[in-house]
Amino acid sequence: MRTLRTIRPVWLVVIALVAGAAGWVTTQLTNRASLPTPVLPLSSLLTMGIIVVLTLTLGVQVLRWRNGHRNKPLNAVLAARTVVLAQACAYAGALLSGWHLGVLVDQLPTLALRSNLNVIWFALAVVGGGIIMIVVGLIVERFCRIPPEDGPPPAGKSPKRNSSGGEEYA
């Protein structure tokens, strides 16, 4: 059975950089073809907010159980889904913020020439929402980690890690 691996911040940076380059190139091409700039509307912030709230809510449930509020047993499937949701939230945040940073890099030189700054504000808002998604994803993933056993490990034994190098989750 494969276990989940923790999010590697390097991958988040790589995703953001690749998405930023794609956003910049796409904006260049759409502007040359007189098409609208490819940014998400402000209504996408509502969806991002719902995802963040859901992720935090599920993460806090797992954290409370992990910290000793064990009135009922933890649903292992719910805990696993919470970790996956947290990781997806962080990766989606990196993708969205990277794309919109690429759009901003393309649009900022023309800032003085623009009469309508909506594209800039929309892109900035989605970048901010993406950063919040990354932070919440990383925090909730940490909520779901199983704490180490009390006391030092027995002589000759290393801390609890699975065979694939990943950490264990609640």
| pLDDT tens-digit series, residues 28-65 | 999 999 999 899 998 999 999 999 999 999 999 999 88
Domain containing 47 equals 9-33+42-143
Residue 65: per-residue pLDDT: 86
Q: For residue 149, what pLDDT band results from cuts at 50, 70 and 90?
A: low
Residue 44: per-residue pLDDT: 94
Q: For residue 100, what pLDDT band results from cuts at 50, 70 and 90?
A: very high
Segment holding 119, helix H or strand E: helix 118-143
pTM of the model: 0.82
Non-local CB neighbours of 64 within 8 Å, separated by 6+ positions: none
Residue 66: per-residue pLDDT: 85
**pLDDT beyond 90 at 99:** yes
Comparison of pLDDT for 9 and 148, the residue scoring more: 9
Query: Distance between CA 1 and CA 7 in Å, rounded?
Result: 19
| Phi (first) and psi of residue 169, to 5 degrees | -120, 160
Q: How many domains does the chain have?
A: 1
* In-domain check, residue 60: yes
**pLDDT beyond 90 at 22:** yes
Residue 157: how many other CB atoms lie within 10 Å: 8
Residue 68: per-residue pLDDT: 81
Query: Distance between CA 90 and CA 5 in Å, rounded?
Result: 14
**pLDDT beyond 70 at 151:** no
**pLDDT beyond 60 at 20:** yes
* In-domain check, residue 163: no
Query: Distance between CA 83 and CA 49 in Å, rounded?
Result: 18
Q: For residue 168, what pLDDT band results from cuts at 50, 70 and 90?
A: low
Closest by alpha carbon to 168, among 104, 100, 38, 76? Answer: 76
Closest by alpha carbon to 127, among 106, 105, 98? Answer: 98
Four-CA torsion 147, 150, 156, 158, nearest 10 degrees: 10
Closest by alpha carbon to 125, among 28, 5, 43? Answer: 43
Over residues 90-113, mean pLDDT: 92
**pLDDT beyond 70 at 163:** no
Query: Distance between CA 123 and CA 37 in Å, rounded?
Result: 10
Mean pLDDT is lowest, of 107-111, 115-119, 129-133, 147-151, for 147-151
Residue 42: how many other CB atoms lie within 10 Å: 13
